[in-house]
């Protein structure tokens, strides 16, 4: 049989026959399938993000292997875009590719007498979604023009032109002031960045809309000098601080971002960026937050230049966003500074719901002392559950208009009787793209009237023996234990009390773990963590044990917690002092910077988690400030593992599930159960045992086993194909092509 001939760069390549499979990996000439030929020379890299998650119709691209710029041709969907590329000041051959169509785009680079490269760029609309699944509806575009300067929205996706403002620091002191580039004031101060560069203290503040969220970017910038992504101004140190906002609400209204005019970071040369979708009090969907972060980071790289590393910061709900995103979407955050932290939304929600049920029970039970109640709650005193009930228990009710960010009388809001087809303002329905809808077999009358299932709910307290440790310690009586477990009940799909225990809707525990809705610690060991804990074991919800809860998860997942340190100082309660004092915050930022700089400088081919351990600064250890600190400093006690003075000064407690027998890690949403046998509760009388056994349907939690559905999560989940999610897999890379 005659050989099949292929023309390639003026030479003839011979395939073995019609059945041969021609492969061209970037390996040796023999492996490439091109006998006697050099391996492909050119490679294409998307600098601004993953090639399959491009947004806004443009991407910053580098072509490696270019020996002579004039010999290279770059084509987008067949059209020549070579003019967008040029050798840049650092010698790289880069260009901003524009004009991408929605969906798949073919970008290829070729050169005479050399191997070429091609990559598929998948472009998405700047209005979203990208990978978070269908967007929440209805949605109100409130662009807060009085504070943001944005104009009216041009469409239902809140699109509007981007605006820019200038501010400066005066030599007279005070905060940032308005700056007019056409009439520069005479009192502009200077600042010296952490790179040792002294520049005018002038800040450009960019405000725009992406993914229906208001974003802002602030950075030191001289308006009289040019800036390009391959030649940033020297005032930017190439690093980014990303603030996240606290709270926890499923609002259907555009929110303003956490403040980016952070002088601690800006004065040192950091760029500060964030979106309203990074405020957990408005967007309690961590996948949407990750999507917004990926989109805005892409914009920063395309407009400002390469990012050396990104540091997350923020308290409470802001800590949840950092820890979930850092684990579930690795690479978006390089180091995090979570304050008053919780690991994630859904294991924290277990604590909130348990508090609600316990308070409801104690409201009708008699003979309980406050000390006994606290022993069941697992807290220092009863104030923690009281604060949970006041602050966040209402968010579990889907008929509360305020949860949606609307007026109390908004007619769009769900009511199980008068408006069953209305918008449900609870967290699960806000995250319906993740969880999916309840099967018809479970529908309530309201669901039948609405004509569809509501979002599936993962809440579960089947098999939980509340107060078990308190019973065994003698803190409560057998009669109290039996009555509590017989009558505690649970809440229904509408958040209303029900006498029976609640089982998680089918499939939800598996989704929770697979889709990263529970922070387990896997891959989080690749991210340095300085946990900033204002000690608040009373009169607050931000109790200390949550820092140790995450530490236990790191130990369970990775066998160590070398990437996490905990810093503690006394808070005042009632949400006071839980955020770090100025000197602690500054020390945390500079310590994290040294940690990440050491990792960045290590060019060895080592696992990232090993580099994190190797380059942890010597002073990045567990520490406390026994007396409240001030901007002038305070006594710092270095106490690894809180084995000494810090552990004595700042003990940590737990929650109702830890009293029921759950591990400190607290990662179980639905426990695995075993038959409840008489020997498990010898303290109880036969009648008491029978009452408990009936309430628990004869089964109790086996906390020695991981919970139902608990398995390592998959990174970079996409919900575009439906609830439950599918992993995107590794980021696309270029492949060789031959002319």
Query: How far does Cα 594 stand from its chain's mean position?
Result: 23
Using DSSP, state whether 321 is helix, strand or coil: helix
For residues 572 and 724, give the distance between their C-alpha atoms in angstroms, rounded to a whole number: 41
494 touches 468 (CB < 8 A): no
User: Phi and psi for 666 in degrees, rounded to 5?
Assistant: 60, 30
What is residue 384's DSSP assignment?
H
What is the overall mean pLDDT for the chain?
93
Give the whole-angstrom CA distance, residue 728 versus residue 717: 6
pLDDT tens track for 584-617: 999 999 999 999 999 999 999 999 999 999 999 9
Q: Please choose, from the candidates 31, 397, 341, 56, the residue with its C-alpha nearest in 3D space to the C-alpha of residue 208.
A: 56
* Nearest alpha-carbon partner for 565 in 598, 587, 543, 540: 587
Residue 544: pLDDT over 90: yes
Please answer whether residues 523 and 336 qualify as being in contact, where contact means their C-beta atoms are separated by less than 8 angstroms. Answer: no
- pLDDT, position 573: 78
pLDDT recorded at residue 701: 98
- How far apart CA 521 and CA 705 sit, in angstroms, is 17
Going along the chain from its start, the domains and CATH numbers come out as: 43-124+730-737 (2.60.40.10), 145-307 (no CATH), 347-514+656-701 (no CATH), 518-642 (no CATH)
Q: Are strands 93-97 and 103-111 parallel, antiparallel or unpaired?
A: unpaired
Angstrom distance (rounded) from CA 439 to CA 455: 10
pTM attached to this predicted model: 0.93
pLDDT the model gives residue 30: 30
pLDDT digits (tens, 9 = 90+) for 45-61: 999 999 999 999 999 99
- Residue 187, SS3 per DSSP: coil
User: Tens digits of per-residue pLDDT, 450-463?
Assistant: 999 999 999 999 99
Q: How many CB atoms lie within 10 A of CB 315?
A: 24
Output the pLDDT for position 566.
98
The percentage of residues in the chain with a pLDDT greater than 70, rounded to a whole number, is 94
Cα distance between residue 244 and residue 279, in whole Å: 6
Residues 184-204 have pLDDT tens digits of: 999 999 999 999 999 999 999
SS3 117: strand
Phi and psi at residue 322, to the nearest 5°: -60, -50
Condensed to tens digits (0 to 9), the pLDDT of residues 89-141 reads 989 999 999 999 999 999 999 998 778 999 999 999 999 999 999 999 999 99
What are the backbone dihedrals phi and psi of residue 465, each rounded to the nearest 5 degrees, phi first?
-95, 90
pLDDT in tens, 381-428: 999 999 999 888 777 789 999 999 999 999 999 999 999 999 999 999
Residue pair 296/302 in contact (Cβ under 8 Å)? The answer is: no
Dist CA 293 CA 699 (whole Å): 44
- The pLDDT tens digits for 267-303 are 999 999 999 999 999 999 999 999 999 999 999 999 9
| The predicted structure's pLDDT at residue 17 | 33
Close Cβ partners of 83 (under 8 Å, ≥ 6 residues apart): none
Closest CA to 337 of 540, 546, 567, 637: 567
Distance CA 683, CA 485 (A): 14
pLDDT at 114: 74
Predicted confidence at residue 3, as pLDDT, reads 33
Spatial separation of the C-alpha atoms in residues 283 and 248, rounded to whole Å: 7
**Residue 631 has what pLDDT?**
55
Helix (H), strand (E), coil (C) string for 534-571: EECCCCCCCCCHHHHHHHHHHHHHHCCCCCEEEEEEEC
Residue 143 has pLDDT above 60, yes or no: yes
pLDDT exceeds cutoff 60 at 26: no
């Amino acid at each position: 049989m005659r050989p099949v001939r292929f023309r390639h760069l003026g030479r003839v390549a011979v395939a073995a026959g019609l059945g041969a499979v021609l492969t061209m990996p970037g390996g040796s000439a023999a492996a490439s399938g091109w006998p006697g030929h050099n391996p492909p020379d050119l490679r294409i890299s998307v600098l601004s993000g993953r090639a399959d998650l491009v947004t806004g119709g443009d991407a910053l691209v580098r072509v490696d292997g270019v020996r002579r710029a004039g010999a290279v041709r770059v084509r987008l969907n067949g059209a020549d875009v070579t003019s967008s590329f040029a050798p840049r000041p650092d010698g790289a051959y880069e260009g901003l590719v524009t004009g991408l169509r929605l969906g798949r785009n073919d970008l290829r680079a070729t050169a005479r007498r050399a191997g070429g490269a091609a990559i598929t760029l998948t472009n998405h609309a700047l209005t979203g979604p990208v990978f978070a699944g269908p967007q929440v509806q209805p949605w109100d575009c409130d662009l807060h023009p009085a504070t943001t300067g944005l104009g009216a929205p041009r469409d239902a996706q809140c699109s509007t032109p981007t605006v820019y403002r200038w501010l400066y620091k005066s030599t007279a002191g005070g905060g940032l002031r308005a700056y007019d580039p056409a009439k520069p004031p005479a009192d502009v101060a200077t600042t010296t960045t952490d790179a040792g560069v002294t520049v005018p203290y002038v800040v450009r503040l960019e405000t725009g809309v992406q993914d229906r969220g208001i974003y802002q970017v602030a950075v030191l910038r001289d308006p009289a000098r040019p800036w390009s992504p391959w030649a940033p101004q020297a005032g930017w140190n190439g690093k980014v601080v990303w603030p996240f906002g606290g709270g926890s609400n499923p609002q259907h209204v555009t929110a303003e971002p956490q403040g980016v005019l952070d002088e601690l970071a800006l004065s040192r040369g950091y760029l500060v960026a964030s979106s309203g979708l990074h405020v957990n009090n408005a967007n309690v969907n961590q996948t949407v937050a990750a999507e917004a972060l990926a989109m805005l980071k892409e914009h920063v790289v395309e407009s400002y230049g390469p990012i050396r590393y990104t540091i997350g910061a923020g308290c409470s709900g802001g800590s949840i966003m950092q820890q979930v995103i850092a684990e579930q979407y690795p690479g978006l955050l390089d180091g995090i500074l979570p304050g008053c932290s919780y690991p994630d939304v859904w294991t924290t929600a277990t604590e909130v719901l348990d508090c609600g049920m316990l308070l409801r029970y104690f409201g009708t039970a008699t003979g309980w002392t406050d000390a006994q109640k606290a022993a069941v709650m697992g807290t220092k005193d009863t104030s923690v559950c009281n604060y949970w009930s006041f602050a966040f228990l209402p968010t579990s009710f889907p008929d509360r208009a305020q949860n949606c960010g609307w007026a109390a009388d908004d007619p769009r809001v769900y009511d199980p009787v008068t408006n069953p087809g209305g918008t449900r303002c609870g967290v699960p329905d806000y995250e319906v793209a993740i969880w999916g809808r309840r099967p018809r077999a479970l529908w309530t009358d309201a669901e039948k009237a609405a004509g569809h299932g509501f979002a599936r709910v993962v809440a579960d307290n089947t098999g939980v023996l509340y107060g078990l440790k308190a019973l065994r310690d003698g803190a409560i009586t057998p009669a109290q234990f039996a009555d509590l477990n017989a009558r505690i009940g649970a809440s229904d799909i509408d958040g209303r009390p029900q006498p029976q225990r609640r089982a998680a809707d089918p499939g939800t525990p598996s989704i929770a773990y697979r889709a990263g809705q529970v922070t387990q610690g896997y891959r989080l060991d690749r991210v340095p963590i300085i946990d900033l804990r204002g000690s608040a074991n009373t009169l607050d919800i931000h109790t200390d044990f949550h820092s140790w809860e995450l530490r236990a998860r790191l130990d369970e997942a990775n066998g160590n917690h070398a990437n996490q340190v905990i810093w503690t100082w006394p808070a005042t309660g009632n949400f006071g002092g839980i955020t770090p004092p100025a000197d602690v915050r500054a020390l945390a930022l500079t310590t994290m910077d040294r940690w990440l700089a050491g990792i960045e400088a290590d060019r060895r081919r080592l696992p990232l988690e090993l580099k994190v351990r190797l380059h942890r600064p010597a002073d990045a250890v567990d520490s406390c400030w026994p007396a409240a600190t001030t901007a002038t400093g305070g006594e710092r006690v270095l106490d690894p593992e809180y084995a000494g003075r810090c552990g004595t000064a700042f003990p940590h407690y737990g929650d109702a599930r830890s009293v029921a027998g759950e591990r400190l890690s607290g990662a179980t949403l639905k426990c695995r159960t075993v038959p409840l046998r008489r020997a498990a509760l010898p303290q109880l009388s036969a009648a008491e045992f029978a009452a408990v056994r009936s309430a628990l349907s004869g089964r109790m939690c086996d906390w020695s086993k991981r919970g139902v559905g608990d398995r390592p999560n998959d990174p970079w989940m996409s919900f575009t194909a439906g609830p439950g999610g599918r992993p995107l897999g590794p980021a696309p890379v270029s492949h060789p092509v031959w002319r």
